[in-house]
Amino acid sequence: MMVTMDRKSTNMDLIVLGAGAGGMTAAAVAAAEGLKVLVLEKTAAVGGTTAISGGMIWAPNSHLTKAPDSLEKAKTYLDAAVPSDAGRSQRRTFLERAPEMIAYLEKNTSVKLQAVPIYPDYEVDAPGASTHGRVLEPVCFDARALGSAFRMVRPPLPEFTLFSGMMIARPDIVHFRNAFRSLPSSLRVARLMAEYIGQRLAGKHRGTTLVLGNALVARLLKSLLDRGVEIRCRCEVKNLVVSNNRVIGVRVTTEGGEQTIAARCGVVLATGGFSADIPLREAYLPPQARTLTATAGVGTGDGLRYGLSVGAQITPGPFGSAYWTPASHYRDTNDRHVVFPHTVTDRAKPGLIAVNRDGRRFTNEAVSYHQFVTAMLRENNVADAVPAHLICDKRFLWKYGLGAIRPMTLRLGRYKAAGYLKEAATLHGLADSLLIDARTFEATIDRYNGDAQVGKDTEFDRGGNVYQRFMGDAENFPNPCMAPIEAPPFYSIALYPADLGTATGLDSDDDARVLDDAGQPIAGLYACGNDMNAIMQGAYPSPGTTIGPAMTYGYLAAMHAAQTDTN
């Protein structure tokens, strides 16, 4: 779609392409440093995949945590969790500068964060790992502060809201689950419901109490608006403009034709990677994982192509080119393609297992989502594990839900009609519907159930570390991750590998400057987020290690650009 560009937009200090967490951070910081900033977003909304995410930011050793931590402890952890020389300098810079970035945003913008009390690193048994203090999340935000600009914020996934637009903070999930069993929970839920009803009666298109990634995006948007940053949505950038070996602006398509917009200090590429680009997925992702993405679907590889067109390079990391999550999918009654990422809601809860086509478990279901898909892909080389099948019984489905099916769902017909949920009165019948060997499948369930009774997984040690137990149900004994599967009917949904974002991007340095084939910075060109080659090299060591580096390198790009004298 074309966009009309105001004449005043033809000369800027910094142009940011893309309005996700990284790009909006770069714009907010640059504006706070006194630069005239333009954000160009090709979609109708800001936020990208950040807006539909949990909004977690991994930033060890920040001023917001009271937990003991240190740069060296965090470095020890990353050296163990990401054992590669590639990206080591950028990881060190991230650890050194992320706390600075957090403090800067808290002082100079509307971004307000808080430490998540407990959230273990994914490789929690590795040296230097921590169970709390490193993960930050946005403080709840009242979107009424945005006025009409609230509609610019990309909404969360409907499957993660209630009553057509009510967002729920993580601590409140347990209150909704216990609303009929606990008076404090009942009162909490009643208050939240009353607030939401009031917001909708006031004419808002959805609830204005924003949490998770939606709150982070809204806070960044408020920061840009307060600083007078110009934001243009539905804007197509044709190419970068180069003069004397320096990127000096962009060329865009407008209703009146093409127009050049100058950028005195440079251009930041933050377009979201290539999750929605088929040719790049085919080039960089495994064959079994090329079809499904759990992103917002807006990353079409634009930033990578812009960079390559002016001499940038791409070097895939040793640990893969995507951040993975298992996902289930189906078409709902409105013919919307629903992709549900199974990150934290069900896999680690007691009373569920995952099996391959042979009817056998192939991994610990309570590991991180990235590790789970890595196990799926590895197992698929031996026995068909794409798709894998999540198995549970009636009690589990009612208490915890399963994928897109919320807890305490009374009517399952639409999920069964869509082929999303399979149901059978017996395990043998469920095996037949999944076309797997019933005898092997029943033996798998028998072994798991026996282990669940005593709370010890003899096959994969599920619930064997603090991260897994944290993701389970603390009220379930003796193992918060294990309970028998024995109450008919029995249920299954299919899981597929999906990406939460791509990890292979443009080679960049410690200041987020994009590098050429000689390893030299391309003057005036920066990258952050998924347009920048991942500093974790395709590993996913902790919650928030996508957004944390994206924001940090957006900050570094802006600070470097602000200090660049191009007069």
Distance CA 396, CA 421 (A): 14
Q: Confidence class of residue 5 from pLDDT cuts 50, 70 and 90? A: very low
Mean pLDDT, residues 291-302? 97
Lowest mean pLDDT among 67-71, 364-368, 421-425: 67-71
Encoded tokens for 9? 């937009």
pLDDT digits (tens, 9 = 90+) for 493-552: 999 999 999 999 999 999 999 999 999 999 999 999 999 999 999 999 999 999 999 999
Taking the C-alpha atoms of residue 43 and residue 60, their distance in angstroms, rounded to an integer, is 33
Cα torsion angle, 249, 252, 255, 259, sign = positive
Q: Tell me: pLDDT of 36 over 70.
A: yes
Strands 257-269 and 11-17: parallel
Write the pLDDT tens digit of every residue in 102-131.
999 999 999 999 999 999 999 999 999 999
3-class state of residue 387 by DSSP: coil
Cα 56 off chain centre by = 8
Multiple choice CATH, 1-155+212-321+503-567, 3.40.640.10, 3.30.2000.10, 3.40.50.1980, 3.50.50.60? 3.50.50.60
pLDDT, tens digit, for every residue of 133-148? 999 999 999 999 999 9
Of the candidates 34, 17, 431, the residue with the CA atom closest to the CA atom of residue 261: 17
> Within 10 A of 453 (CB to CB), how many other CB atoms are there?
13
Architecture of the domain delimited by 323-499? Alpha-Beta Complex (3.90)
DSSP string, 541-559: -STTTTHHHHHHHHHHHHH
Whether the predicted pLDDT of 8 surpasses 50: no
Token pair of 12 as six digits: 């800027």
Band of pLDDT at residue 566, cut at 50, 70 and 90 = low
Measured distance CA(242)–CA(345) in Å, rounded = 47
Q: Give the helix ranges, DSSP H, for 70-201.
A: 71-81, 88-108, 170-177, 183-201
**Chain position carrying tokens 């936020």:** 47
Q: Is the pLDDT of residue 565 over 80?
A: no
Of 170-174, 181-185, 238-242, the range with the highest mean pLDDT is 238-242
Tell me: pLDDT of 6 over 50: no
Please answer whether residues 174 and 184 qualify as being in contact, where contact means their C-beta atoms are separated by less than 8 angstroms.
no
What is the rounded CA–CA span in Å between residue 32 and residue 562? 10
* Residue (of 292, 387, 347) closest to 471 by Cα position: 347
Query: Is the pLDDT assigned to residue 331 strictly greater than 60?
Result: yes
Nearest to 343 by CA among 314, 366, 364: 366
The pLDDT of residue 249 is above 90:
yes
**Statement: residue 382 has pLDDT above 90:** no
Taking the C-alpha atoms of residue 260 and residue 241, their distance in angstroms, rounded to an integer, is: 8
DSSP 8-state code for residue 220: H
Residue 312 CA to residue 219 CA, distance in Å, equals 32
3-state secondary structure of 40: strand
Asked whether this chain's domains 1-155+212-321+503-567 and 323-499 adopt the same fold, the reply is no
User: Is residue 7 scored above 70 in pLDDT?
Assistant: no
Residue with tokens 């095996």: 431
Span 236-258, mean pLDDT?
Answer: 93
Q: Parse the chain into domains and list their residue ranges.
A: 1-155+212-321+503-567, 166-205, 323-499
User: What's the pLDDT band for 2 if we cut at 50, 70, 90?
Assistant: very low
Residue 40: band (very low, low, confident or very high) from pLDDT cuts 50, 70, 90: very high
AA letter at 447: R
- Confidence band of 567 (pLDDT split at 50, 70, 90): low
